[in-house]
Structure 1
Amino acid sequence: MVGLIDLVQTLTSPHPLDRYLELVRPTLTLRDLRAEITDVRRSTPGSVTLTLRPNRQWAGHRAGQYVQIGVLINGVKHTRCYSPTDPQGRDRRLRLTVRAHPDGLVSQHLYRHAQPGMVVDLAPAGGSFTLPEPRPDKILLISGGSGITPVLSMLQTLAAEGYPGEVVFLHYAKSPEQVPHRAELDAIAQRHNNFRIALYCPSQYGYFDFDQLERIAPWFADAQTFVCGPSSLMTAVRTVFEAEDLGDRVHSEEFTLTTMPVDPAEVSGATTFSASGVRADNSGTSLLEQAENSGLTPEYGCRMGICFSCTAVKRSGCTRDLRTGDLHNDPDQPIQLCISAAVGDVDIEI
């Protein structure tokens, strides 16, 4: 079958076969992974839930993973990463809840303009923030804000499996109205006596601390904990668990990039994007931002160092990891543009 496809591909050159098939139907492709939006719901202020129907190339996802979608905006394709909220498995349906960030180009576009029939590009599910096999006896799920999506997928998966152990799902939101999928959470709590759903507003219950943890999940020391949300929540959870010498029981994914302070002495020299013949003064920002400010359009997805879409080869020079502050001097090494900054003169092959 692959040989036949390659033969037809040759006959349709210079355009790939999928270019012709998409003229018949945008999701009718042999190799490209795409999805059609079949349902759009804006039931929570400031967010939109999209139901997608992927084409036959879709292989499903594991609970907690993310997918990368590509959206055309004014003729330019932009990609972003979102976590499905569905239980894991090879289902022909995929749900994404997208929070419309004030400066988010793609999230604002989807929030305002997404409608049934719209087709988006799709990439296979990725990420290691997943439930372990076999399942642990006790599981604590903690999320805040838009970090609810991968953790909700874990909860949905455990419920669908009839998980017999103890589960606590703790979510922080500014108000009850801002909790997406509230009806589903309530239904899970009603059907499963061993599942506890706790929705906290910091203004009413305060922020995460040891006392709150002990009240909601007194068995936390025997559990595996999965947390996703703002950096302040992630830090609070890790601080409590590490103080109890339980840091290895916490598994996390962050949807915001927390950067180390920049040393002004490092902001010097120039960045050469050798494959494009472009040179720009080092501004101290990420190499992805420098490339974009220089008129280049490198591929990217999450902009947080998760999806590896923006990986490029550093031919020479020194770069700094924006998350850890670590310096990398080795030549001819792949780096992630979104989490790397130049230290002096650097040559990047894009």
Structure 2
Amino acid sequence: MIKVLIVDDSAVVRQVLTQQISQHAGIGVMGAVSDPIFAMKKMASEWPDVIILDIEMPRMDGITFLKKIMKERPTPVIICSTLTDKGAQVTMEAMAAGAVDIISKPKSGLKSFLQDSKTLLLDAIKAASVARVGKRNPAAARQTRAEALPKLTADAVLSAGKARPMTTTTDSVVAIGTSTGGTQALEAVLVQLPRTAPGIVIVQHMPEQFTAAFAQRLDGLCHVQVKEAENNDRVMPGLVLIANGGKHMLLRRSGAQYRVELKDGPLVSRHRPSVDVLFRSVAQAAGANALGIILTGMGDDGARGMKEMHDAGAYTVAQDEQTCVVYGMPKEAVNLGGVDSIQPLNNVPNLIMNFATKHEKAS
């Protein structure tokens, strides 16, 4: 049983989340309280496996409470944040402080929104329960796969008959996919890259509106430029494009250049944006001109796409288990036979730059 503590000053949120979680046999709510002071009293006698935490609360704000937890006893925390510009900015601060995932909540229609998001909520809790936070979490021994649900494949988004990749182009592209724990992993990689880094396209599983704040935060930390992708953006050296929450991002070839296309469409592998959609489009458009990297995350999104990249001649890399927050997505890619190399996270920046150097010489 995964023990969940809900900390939110909204009675509606506490009620709806408790009802949804309690319907799942493997997850239980050990408490639902209105602020961190009550939470600390509860945690004095029983410690949760996962905390769902609001940010703006009376008596103590969520960020202060989160930092206190991470200092005293690192525990997987899911941020429950409002879909506003301010909410997105503060949520990025929480992710930087160690939160592993986000549950979004609108300002209106809250009850129906949360009820419609039940599957995403349960998936987030399962992923958080096996996450390594600070030190190895005891809950990691209970790692479970997400329950099998019908999945749409990337074929639903990728149209047939696209141009075959050119054997060699002067432009190259690095495609990265990640989920739980990915915000910290991406920051660790991107801050190490110089302005001469090759063009990078990224899918990070994240709700709509939060991706812009995430890209903005990284842009302020990195030598490379980081931005939320816009339709028809060119993939260029020194530029990192983050897929928009709520839209799929695909790579397209335009002559010897590469550009991104943003598309609406169904969830693929339960996600939009989907890593599988990006990776499969990279396989089609770039082939051996691409480097594929799959980082920490729950589930199997990206495994099939990485296999297609590998088969199309791209060099493919998976983050190793020891440095993953959740060794789910990389593991599935390895098991499918689509990974050329398994590497710790701190090796990834050098791999990216070595790829760029080799590709430049080849072209």
Which structure has more helix as a fraction of its residues?
2
User: TM-score, with normalisation over the residues of structure 1?
Assistant: 0.33
Which structure has more strand as a fraction of its residues?
1
User: TM-score, with normalisation over the residues of structure 2?
Assistant: 0.32
The structure having more radius of gyration, on CA atoms, is 1
